[in-house]
Amino acid sequence: MLDQSGVRPSKIVSVLATQVGGIGNLNVTDHDVCNYLSTKRHKELEKGDAQLMLQYFQKRQSENPGFFYAIQVDIEGRLANCFWADAKSRSLYKHFGDVVTFDPTYLTNKYKMPFVPLTGVNHHYQSILFGGALLWDETEESFVWLLQTWLEAMLGCPPKTVITDQDTAITNAVARVLPHSTHHFCMWHIEKKFPETLSHIYHQNNDFKYHFSKCIHDTITPEEFEMAWTELIEKYKLQNNTWIQKVYSIRERWVPAFVRASFCAGMSTTQRSESMNKFFKDYLNSSTAMSKFVTQYDRAIEARYDKEKEKNFKTKNTKPILKTLYPMEVEAAKVYTRKIFRMFQDELLESQKYVSEKITMKDGVYKYRVHECQKEFPSYIVILNIVEQKVECSCHKFEFVGILCKHALMVFIKKQIHSLPMHYLLDRWTMSAICGRDEGDFSEKLHQAEPLRNSSMWFNDIMVRSLGISEKASRSAKHHRVALQGLQALSDKLDDLPYENEQDSSLSISQVDSHSEIHDPTQGQTSQKSITLFNPVTVASKGRPRTLRMKGGLEKSRKINKCSCCKEKGHNRSTCPKVKN
Ligand SMILES: [Zn+2]
Ligand SMILES: [Zn+2]
Give ipTM to 2 decimals.
Answer: 0.54
Q: Which ligand is nearest to the CA of 381?
A: 1
Q: How far is the CA of 577 from the centre of ligand 2 (A)?
A: 6
The residue among 17 and 430 whose pLDDT is bigger is 430
User: Which-ligand-closest: CA of 384?
Assistant: 1
Rounded Cα distance, 11 and 548, in Å: 8
Alpha carbon distance 122, 301 (integer Å): 14
Return the pLDDT at 109. 55
Tens-place pLDDT, residues 379-436: 999 999 999 999 999 999 999 999 999 999 999 999 999 999 999 999 999 998 886 5
Could you say which ligand is closest to the alpha carbon of residue 393? 1
CA of 386 to the centre of ligand 2 (A): 65
Cβ(570)–Cβ(95) under 8 Å?
no
Closest ligand to 396 CA? 1
Distance 408 CA to ligand 1 centre (A): 6
**CB neighbour list of residue 332: distance below 8 Å, 6 or more residues apart:** 341, 344, 345, 348, 420, 425
Helix intervals (H) in 218-337: 222-235, 242-249, 256-259, 271-281, 290-317, 327-335
Q: How far is ligand 1, taken at its centre, from the CA of residue 393, in Å?
A: 5
How far are the Cα atoms of 188, 354, 412, 419 from residue 345, in angstroms, in the given order?
A: 27, 15, 15, 14
> Does the structure show a pLDDT above 70 at 447?
no
Beta-strand (E) ranges in 182-241? 182-185
Ligand 2 centre and the CA of 84: distance in Å?
39
Q: Which residues surround ligand 1, an ion (CB under 5 A)?
A: 380, 393, 395, 405, 407
| Ligand 1 centroid, distance to 406 Cα (angstroms) | 6
Distance from the CA of 366 to the center of ligand 1, in angstroms?
15
CA torsion sign for 104, 106, 108, 114 is: positive
Write out pLDDT tens, residues 54-78.
888 888 988 888 899 988 876 666 7
Picking from 213, 178, 191, the residue whose alpha carbon sits closest to that of residue 102 is: 178
- Report how far ligand 1's centroid is from the alpha carbon of 460 (Å): 42
The stretch 146-154 carries a mean pLDDT of 94
**Among the listed ranges 243-257, 282-296, 323-337, which one has the minimum average pLDDT value?**
282-296
**Ligand 1 centre from 399 Cα, in Å?**
10
Ligand 1: distance of its center to the CA of 351 in Å?
10
The single-letter DSSP state of residue 484 is H
Q: What is the pLDDT of residues 93-105, one digit of tens each?
A: 999 999 999 988 8
57 touches 294 (CB < 8 A): yes
Ligand 1 centroid from CA 410, angstroms? 9
Which of the ligands is closest to the CA of residue 561?
2
